[in-house]
Structure 1
């Protein structure tokens, strides 16, 4: 075979080998691509525009009773903390009512302590005086206790004197009774001795008659003395009962006064929280952390009506709430608790980044925009703004109304699924009229 023939054969074989190699490379690339597209998965993301809304509604602060403005402590735009005073109303009337009730409660506490001690028969132990006025009331109760104890002592002394006098009368009656009994017995003995003598005629009949009369008189005197003893003993019992009644009445009066004082105390204690709340409401304080939106009073000394708006506060928090408007065709891919990425359009996302969040709520029905006629579902996303900071670490201001780009991150899908989606849709819609 000539050299020329071999060269022609080699020229024909080389293109065929190159073609085969290229074919195998293409097949290998397709296999690797299919494997890669089947293995690698991407997040399915729903993009939706949104805007920042307050985590809670705008706080419009007012006063239940109304009053006169005594101080305006904030201005529009001020950052305020929860519980920070914003506007103070005149506290004269509310303070006087609360102070008067507080003094009355202190006085009632002292009175109850005194009456309980009087009923128990011990020295009263008074509560500590919270104010000088309460201390004065405690002093009055001390003086009243001393006067009542002196009165009880006087009544008891008078009753004891009557009882002692009655007991002396009993002793005297007993002594008189003993004397009368002795005289009666002596007359009886004389009568017994003289009767035989009269019977024998030794003594005259007149003597017997005289002795009989004397014996009868002595017996009558003895009976009267015995009755006197009974009357004296009855007087003693009556004096003792009277003394006990005096002491019982004294304690009963203390018991009646105690019941009245405790009833009034219960009434005062029920009204004290309301008075304290009324006094506290004279200082209008912010219920949340936030920013002052409007101050609706401008003059110290001006009068405001009950329930009249005074200050508006826009709440702020470490977490923001963003309302995203999701198209109906994408709503099936959104669920509560789903991860989200929120970018505030006022801050370049390439510089400041975004915020992670979670889906809080999904509106049950779509809302139709009157201007455009487009419908959308409202999805509320809670975003963590704590780490949303500037290059120097400062907190970035985010307020209600700012617009945002919200990416709702759904389930992962392979790249192959994304590639096959048009063909799958075409297969489902094919051969349809």
Structure 2
């Protein structure tokens, strides 16, 4: 009996020691765990963020696509809400009238160019050879100018031929007059010799006086013929000089007329070439294209066949590019630690954050003063966040982000340890515990 009691006492003593050991072990584990937690809380940092909400806005101003020259709407190729790329065709204007005007002016331009080349050849006295491009672009025009060139040259040649005939006639008459002069001059020499020989004989009575008189009469007639021939030659020289002057005048008149026409045609061509681009622009600008990547926000002129006035806005496009902005509002209590350049995380309510993640951005601007929200009259500070990254789907394709999407922003203002989150409220309570409000 005594032995059994002794064994029982020993067992109770051992169990008591085990119980004490287990308690101390549990307390040690808990203490170690708490020490580890406190150590982790003292070094582990979490981001401090300032939250706000807003919406996506375009990084560029709203684009209103206008028509410079106006015209009738022929075809509308987009609809509201459609995404377009820079250079995409939005609508087409009817260019029938503009094209007709342009074609007429272009033909006039070809005609002036052909006329200038023809007049240049006339002035130089060269054969007419049109530039290959002109002859190919306007064969009818060059043919007309070629015929005009040949006609004017033929007319000049005919007039010159008449003068040439007159010149040859005068030269022939000059030859005859010169022959008469030579004959009369030679006859005078012989006549004078005969008079000199017979006059002494008449004075001595050897020859009758009538013989001398006859010789003197013949001599006088020869003198008359000589004088007549000289006068005729003088007149013929004047006539030939006049013909030569007329030759010169005809060439000069022909060249002068060509120069005057050339000057006028050159001036007309210069004026036409200044106005032609405007008509070409009317034709080219009949196709109204998007100036930016974006989304068609509103079609301001929808009637096919309607007339758009010069400068009238036809389509309104909201720009969409890789760099867009978030316009958000921050409570005045949270504005103190914000400054441009801080990193921002942007979540779009249109896309599940758990699936698609957030966007990276940077705080760009902060409003200088608070404003009131129209709905709640609550004062807020407007801020603008510039977003750099894009959201993608499972295949890596960028998701559409368009102006107007609701966004939540988290502005990273700093970081602090987990322990500070627990200590700060205690410190704040301690500081305010014995103060009177």
Q: What range describes the TM-score normalised by the shorter chain of this pair?
A: 0.7 to 0.9
Distance in 2 of aligned mates of 1:225 and 1:192: 25
Distance in 2 of aligned mates of 1:376 and 1:297: 39
1:195 equivalent to 2:199? Answer yes
Distance in 2 of aligned mates of 1:276 and 1:303: 20
- Give 2:397's aligned residue: 394
Relative to structure 1, the CA distance from residue 176 to residue 362 in structure 2 (aligned partners, 3 Å threshold; closer, same or farther) is: farther
Q: CA deviation at 1:168?
A: 2.3
- Give 1:123's aligned residue: 127
* Contact 1:129 1:135 survives alignment (8 Å): no
Distance in 1 of aligned mates of 2:131 and 2:367: 60
- Give 1:166's aligned residue: 170
- Give 2:275's aligned residue: 271
Distance in 2 of aligned mates of 1:259 and 1:413: 83
Relative to structure 1, the CA distance from residue 363 to residue 129 in structure 2 (aligned partners, 3 Å threshold; closer, same or farther) is: farther
* Contact 1:107 1:137 survives alignment (8 Å): yes
Distance in 2 of aligned mates of 1:146 and 1:134: 19
1:185 equivalent to 2:185? Answer no
SS in 1 for 2:138: helix
Bigger mean CA deviation after superposition, 137-146 or 301-310? 301-310
Bigger mean CA deviation after superposition, 174-183 or 211-220? 211-220
* Contact 1:106 1:129 survives alignment (8 Å): no
Alignment of 1:270-349 (within 5 A): 270-326=274-330, 330=335, 333-335=338-340, 339-349=343-353
How many residue pairs get aligned? The number is 399
TM-score, with normalisation over the residues of structure 2? 0.77
Bigger mean CA deviation after superposition, 392-401 or 350-359? 350-359
- Structure index of larger Rg: 2
Superposed CA deviations along residues 307-348 of structure 1, whole A, max 9, x for unmatched, are 55433222221221222335566377423x665443323223
* Contact 1:52 1:401 survives alignment (8 Å): yes
Superposed CA deviations along residues 203-225 of structure 1, whole A, max 9, x for unmatched, are 23333333233323322322221
Distance in 1 of aligned mates of 2:424 and 2:272: 77
Q: CA deviation at 1:413?
A: 7.5
Q: CA deviation at 1:380?
A: 3.5
SS in 2 for 1:114: helix
Superposed CA deviations along residues 78-106 of structure 1, whole A, max 9, x for unmatched, are 22222222222222111111111111112
Distance in 1 of aligned mates of 2:348 and 2:404: 11
Structure 1: gaps (5+ residues): 1-21
Distance in 1 of aligned mates of 2:189 and 2:323: 116
Q: CA deviation at 1:373?
A: 4.2
SS in 2 for 1:71: strand
- Give 1:75's aligned residue: 79
1:51 equivalent to 2:62? Answer no
Q: CA deviation at 1:396?
A: 0.5
Distance in 2 of aligned mates of 1:223 and 1:421: 145
Structure 2: gaps (5+ residues): 1-30
- Give 1:105's aligned residue: 109
Relative to structure 1, the CA distance from residue 275 to residue 254 in structure 2 (aligned partners, 3 Å threshold; closer, same or farther) is: same
* Contact 1:166 1:239 survives alignment (8 Å): no
Q: CA deviation at 1:400?
A: 0.7
The equivalent position to 1:248 in structure 2, one of 247, 252, 260, is 252
Q: CA deviation at 1:49?
A: 2.8
Distance in 1 of aligned mates of 2:336 and 2:234: 110
